Amino acid sequence: MHTTPPGPVDMPRIFPQVIPFARTTIRLHPRRGSPTAEQSSVGGPLLWPADEPWPICVGDGAYDHFDDAPDPAEVPLVPVAQLFADDISGIPFPEGTDVLQVLWCPFDHDPWSAPRPELRWRRRADIGALLTTMPAPHQDADPEYVPDPCVVDPEPVTEYPTHDLPDEVRSQIRRTMQQLEADTGWEYETDLAVASGIKVGGYPGWTQSPDWPVCTCGAPMEHLLTVATCEFSRGDERRWIPLEERPAMAGWGFDSADDHPWRAIQNPAGLMLGDAGGIYLFVCASCPDRPFDYRFDCS
């Protein structure tokens, strides 16, 4: 079990202005383990049809694979997440599908010097004979771009926007935010608003200005999945460490050695995306084939 503690303040009473913007995100709480292809996972094996070629990247953008050009130039994508409709609510599966698979190329790409993701939507019952061995990551791939296998423990959490809050609402709550912080130490942005870590739906935890993709149909895309480097970061750990793991985290600090047990809780997939940033995936829920786009964001 992984339980995010409830917000420390009565949001409807203290911040009534943000209540209309509440969204539910599903924190996946990935933790190192040995997921099978039959399970939802982060970085685990995928249910992959034996007769379907594994996707590769040839790095065809001008700066793709730029600093670390792999040899040979064809790179197998690596599994990032597999999510079953039975396990996780709120994913806008295209009609007739119930498995979402996310893969990416573990080298830098235009325009953000970050891995480039791809999605597969499948119907579990139609997959048939399975590929039994996933291709090994490319020998030159940066291990920090290859998620370590993690089991997941999805938990719905209510969150409120930070950078996505309209300016007029933000100015309405500014004094309350300052007063709350002065009185209690709790900060709206880090403790009360957007949930940390790898998660489905809800709001991206933008560090830069929001940059929501718009579909070719004209509709703004929805946030599908955040693949964050860390499950929590310096400053937001008071709220976002699951209650069950707080004993194991006692005495931890960001200065602790890398092999300290807390690292497996704070950075379970062993990722480092830029400066502890994240890759946000978006889909258009209006178009039946779910056009997809993504953003890379870090401080």
Q: Rule CB under 5 A: which residues touch Zn ion?
A: 57, 59, 105, 107, 215, 217, 219, 284, 286-287
CB burial of 207-232 (b: ≥16 within 10 Å; e: otherwise) equals beeeeebebeeeeebbbbbbbbbbbb
Report the nearest approach of Zn ion to the CB of residue 272 (Å): 17
Question: Looking at beta carbons only, is 14 or 284 nearer to Zn ion?
Answer: 284
Rounded to whole angstroms, how far apart are CA atoms 230 and 278?
Answer: 9
36: how many CB neighbours lie within 10 A of its CB?
Answer: 11
Question: Looking at beta carbons only, is 113 or 286 nearer to Zn ion?
Answer: 286
| Among 4, 8, 18, residue whose Cα is nearest residue 162 | 18
Place of tokens 């480039």: 116
Report the nearest approach of Zn ion to the CB of residue 66 (Å): 10
Question: Looking at beta carbons only, is 195 or 283 nearer to Zn ion?
Answer: 283
Question: Looking at beta carbons only, is 81 or 105 nearer to Zn ion?
Answer: 105
Report the nearest approach of Zn ion to the CB of residue 216 (Å): 6
Report the nearest approach of Zn ion to the CB of residue 198 (Å): 21
Question: Looking at beta carbons only, is 132 or 216 nearer to Zn ion?
Answer: 216
- What phi, psi does 266 have (nearest 5°)? -80, -30
Dihedral sign computed on CA atoms, order 282, 285, 287, 290:
positive
Report the nearest approach of Zn ion to the CB of residue 194 (Å): 25
